[in-house]
Structure 1
Amino acid sequence: MKKLYLTLALGFGLAIGAGAATQATSTASAASYHVVASQSMTKTAYHKASTKGAVYNLSHTRKLASLKSYPNTTWYATKKVTLKHGNSKAVYYKVKNGAGSVSGYVWHTYLAKGVAPFNLKYARGAVALNADTNKVLWSKAANTPRPIASISKLMTLYLVEKKVADSSAGWNSTVNTSYSGLKRMGNSSVYGGFKFTKNSYTVKQLYQAALIESSNNAAIALGQWVAGGATPAYNKAFIKMMNNQADEWHLGKATFVSANGMEQNALRTYGYSVSGGNANMVSPKDVALIASHLINDYPAVLEDASHASLNVSGQLCYNYNNLLPGRKYYQASLNVDGLKTGYTDLAGYCFVGTGKKAGHDRLITVVLHDENEFTETRALMNEVYNKDLI
């Protein structure tokens, strides 16, 4: 019993000693940084000067945020504080981010004066365009052609609209969808989505399937219809029409080899490969200009593009645009109502977004080969509006 008591007493004493030691260490750590001078300053904008640095509490005992985690953040300094640590003194700025969610003290060397330059971390190419004037508002590698996956369908849909507008053909015209390659494509777990269970659909049905569901077989069938037939030979003729339209618009950074954005090595399986490059290669700026022509010449496209989902000939077509109302990245003030997503392993995630914020011209944004296409599109749209670029 005495042994147990002694053990407990010793344990309790050790615990107290450990607690006291911990407290002493914390106190010593806190005491190692102390204020020797403090001066208020006019609110001044700064941004990170390098990948180093962090935001600390005043006693420098707790790191509140790493500057590298806030690459595009503007920090606003309101106080200059001199802290002494040992025999050294250093100037720190008391800062807060624009959202007010993070505040603390940063060594002044880690900050550069001025508003943070905006950048997109993941997109390899991007552009923001005023749809009313076609003026480029912001860009990143805007003139570098890249594979664009399914946003290629915007050119296909433009030519469909053009045929409907310029000929006796109407939206209720029927399109032959009997070709076996297209039916197999529609049934594919990778390239399918809208199944051709019938040998014909209306132009409008295939248009909606291609735009909303991003149906690859619907896009090819529409292209063949525009070119005047229903076989792969007419697909080749349609691709020539796509390139001719790009030339007519003076798009010097656009080359098409498929109606739907699939690469040749994938199309070959279904009998739709053509000579030339492996993928549609278009620059972000030229993609934006194609979207601008489509929206301005045929604005009704936005009625279909704004559908989160739509039943087309008994099949549910799902819109993968996650900036639309009710979706994960929706922001009401941006008023996004279109336009087109795309993905292949080669192209990465691609997205053309458009919206018209109250009191502003319509905005078109393009991000190519992205990893967070909706987050970065939303950031780009907000950058344009916050800086009154449109």
Structure 2
Amino acid sequence: MLNLKKMTLAFVTAVALTGFAGGTAQDASASAYSTVSSTSMTKTAYHKKSTSGAVYNASHTKVVAKLKSYPNTTWYATKKVTLKHNGKKAVYYKVKNGAGTKSGIVWHKYVVKGAAPFGLKYAKAAVAYDADSNKTVWSKNGNTARPIASVSKIMTLYLVQEKAAGSSGSWSSKVNTSYSGLKRMGLDSACGGFRFTKNSYTVKQLFDAALIDSSNNAAIALGQWVAGGSTPTANKKFITMMNSQADEWGLKHTNFVSSSGLEQSDLRTFGYSIGGSDANMVSANDVAIIADHLITDFPSTLTTAKVKSMTLSGQTLYNYNNMLPGRKYYSASLNVDGLKTGYTPKAGYCFVGTGQKSGHNRIITVVLHDENEFTETKSIMNMAYNKNLL
């Protein structure tokens, strides 16, 4: 038995798809776009007006780029094109992005004249800081305190160098590393970084392990040395010193509870939880200021920070800064020579970078909780130099 309902539905569908009805063919080109006119124009910058719209290929049959996916892209128009569609005319611009990787036509009402505002897609907070004039030149949520993971070590290493440069210590001073919690931490695949196979190391050895390889147990041992001890009691005293230094510098969005950047939930296993907040909470702007003090007061820090790898006590220290020469995100013009990476699940990927392009002031950049920390750091640096912000 024939199913008339299904036959009728099939017929209607066929009409819709083929454009035939009652045996009469519709004009197959009626819904196509045709070019009415095309005139050259002075190269003009545009950016997206809202989340609507897209850049299409010249025949308007394929989407080249959805504008909502390019919130900070500047499109350069070189032609004004009038297209006709279903009897109506519309003005389009022939555009190309700055990198030249995307090009096509875009309806003129989907864009607005002017370069796109600079922004970052992934970083929850970020700053660009002029290390010569000591000021922030660009910011995204720069004064919002966030977990900063191992970036915290830049404050620890500042206080270490301060003591090493004084009368009470030196690079060759011995640091007690016998505490069982630190030894267990060094053996932990997630929280370690440098195995303590001896009961003491020099300040310089642990400094290298903490800065190059981001060793957490090395950073904690150094902090205890600064505070005059070798147990969690000295660690707690050192964290008070970290916060006092932040207060002295006038940092308003900084609170330390860890000398290494590990969170309390991890430190508790090794006897180093001091209570209070789970993580160090520091704003991107305050991180930049700490970094500025570190490399200004102790410029030799950068000599260590740009070491890509080295062997210490039979172990390899590996620097995870992928903007150094020979690494994936290296750029010769940016001349990045530091400074510190960081990661925990709570903090996300963090990075404080620094470098000095020829003819410009030294830049310090900070990105916090960023899925593409090196790509976006590179973008910030290029933007700041291209706009002559420093």
Shared fold (TM-score greater than 0.5)?
yes
Work out whether residues 73 and 116 of structure 1, in 8 Å CA contact, stay in contact via their aligned partners in 2.
Answer: yes
The aligned residue for residue 383 of structure 1 is 383
- How far apart are the structure 1 equivalents of 2:173 and 2:193? 22
Give the root-mean-square deviation of aligned CA atoms. Answer: 1.6
Question: Structure 1, residues 38-60: CA drift from partner, whole Å, max 9, x if none?
Answer: 33222110011222322222221
Q: Quick one: distance in 2 between partners of 1:338 and 1:276?
A: 31
The number of residues matched between the two structures is 366
Structure 1 residue 233: deviation in Å? 0.7
Q: How much has 1:276 moved relative to structure 2?
A: 2.1
Q: Equivalent residue for 1:145? A: 145
Secondary structure of 1:277 counterpart: coil
Map residues 207-246 of structure 1 onto 2, 5 A cutoff.
Answer: 207-246=207-246
Whole-angstrom distance in 1 between the partners of 2:230 and 2:30: 78
What CA distance in whole angstroms lies between the structure 2 residues aligned with 1:30 and 1:358? 58
Deviations, residues 232-290 of structure 1 (Å, cap 9, x unaligned): 11111100100110011000111111100111111111011113211111110000000
Q: What is the match of residue 122 of structure 1?
A: 122
**Residue in 1 aligned with 2:289?**
289
Q: Deviations over 1:171-211 (max 9, x none)?
A: 01110000000000000011012000110000000000000
SS of equivalent residue, structure 1 residue 339: strand
Shift of 1:103: 1.9
Residue identity in the other structure for 1:300: S
Task: Provide Cα deviations, 1:13-46, integer angstroms capped at 9, x if missing partner.
Answer: xxxxx9xxxxxx9x95598211223332221100
TM-superposition CA deviations, 1:57-116 (whole Å, max 9, x none)? 222123333223322211111111110001211110011111222221111111111101
- Residue 22 of structure 1 corresponds to which residue in structure 2? none
CA distance in structure 1 between the partners assigned to 2:124 and 2:350 by the alignment? 10
Matches within 5 A, 1:21-40: 28=28, 32-40=32-40
2:183 maps to: 183
Aligned to 2:325: 325
Q: Partner residue of 1:80?
A: 80
Q: Distance in 1 between matches of 2:69 and 2:308?
A: 33
Tell me the distance in 2 between the aligned counterparts of 1:266 and 1:99: 44
| Structure 2: distance between partners of 1:361 and 1:354 | 11
Per-residue CA shift, 1:203-237, capped at 9, x if unaligned? Answer: 00000000010000000000000011111111111
* Structure 2 gap segments, 5+ residues each: 1-17, 19-24
**In structure 1, how many angstroms separate the alpha carbons of the residues matched to 2:62 and 2:244?**
62
Q: Distance in 1 between matches of 2:74 and 2:176?
A: 56
- Name the structure 1 match of 2:361: 361
Q: Which amino acid aligns with 2:289?
A: L
Residue 245 of structure 2 aligns with an amino acid whose one-letter code is Q
Matched, 1:161 2:161: yes
> How has the CA–CA distance of structure 1 residues 233 and 58 changed in structure 2, closer, same or farther, with 3 Å as cutoff?
same
DSSP 3-state at the match of 1:126? strand
Contact residue 212 and residue 319 of structure 2 kept, 8 A: yes
Does the aligned pair in 2 maintain the 1:46–1:116 contact within 8 Å?
yes
The residue aligned with 1:309 is 309
Taking the TM superposition and a 5 Å limit, the aligned residue runs for 1:242-281 are 242-281=242-281
TM-score normalised according to structure 1 size: 0.91
Aligned residue type for 1:318: Y
SS at match of 1:334: coil
1:30–1:59 Cα contact (<8 Å) kept: no
The amino acid of 1:43's aligned partner reads K
Counterpart contact for 1:31–1:59, Cα < 8 Å: no
Corresponding residue of 1:3: none
Measured after TM superposition, the shift of residue 168 of structure 1 is 4.1
* Contact 2:243 2:256 survives alignment (8 Å): yes
Deviates more, 1:69-78 or 1:314-323: 69-78
CA distance in 2, matches of 1:29, 1:99: 35
Whether the 8 Å CA contact 1:29–1:61 is kept in 2: the answer is no
- The 1:43–1:188 alpha-carbon spacing in structure 2 relative to 1, beyond 3 Å, is same
Q: Aligned runs of 1:193-212 on 2, under 5 Å? A: 193-212=193-212
Contact 2:175 2:200 in 1 (8 A): yes
Cα distance in 2 for partners of 1:269, 1:61 equals 60
Identity of aligned residues (%): 70
* 1:117-152 Cα shifts (integer Å, max 9, x gaps): 111111111110001111111101111111111000
Aligned to 2:41: 41
Residues 150 and 341 in structure 1, CA contact (< 8 A), matched pair in contact too: yes
Shift of 1:379: 0.9
CA contact (8 A) 1:30 1:60 kept: no
Question: TM-score by structure 2 length?
Answer: 0.91
The answer to whether the 8 A contact 2:30-2:85 is kept is no
Aligned to 1:21: none
Secondary structure of the corresponding residue to residue 245 of structure 2: helix
Question: Do the aligned partners of residues 231 and 55 (structure 1) sit closer, same or farther apart at CA in structure 2, a change above 3 Å counting?
Answer: same
Residues 29 and 288 of structure 1: CA distance in aligned 2, closer, same or farther (over 3 Å): farther
Q: Is the 8 A contact 1:155 1:290 kept in 2?
A: yes
Q: Where does residue 50 of structure 2 map in the other structure?
A: 50
SS of 1:94 mapped into structure 2: strand
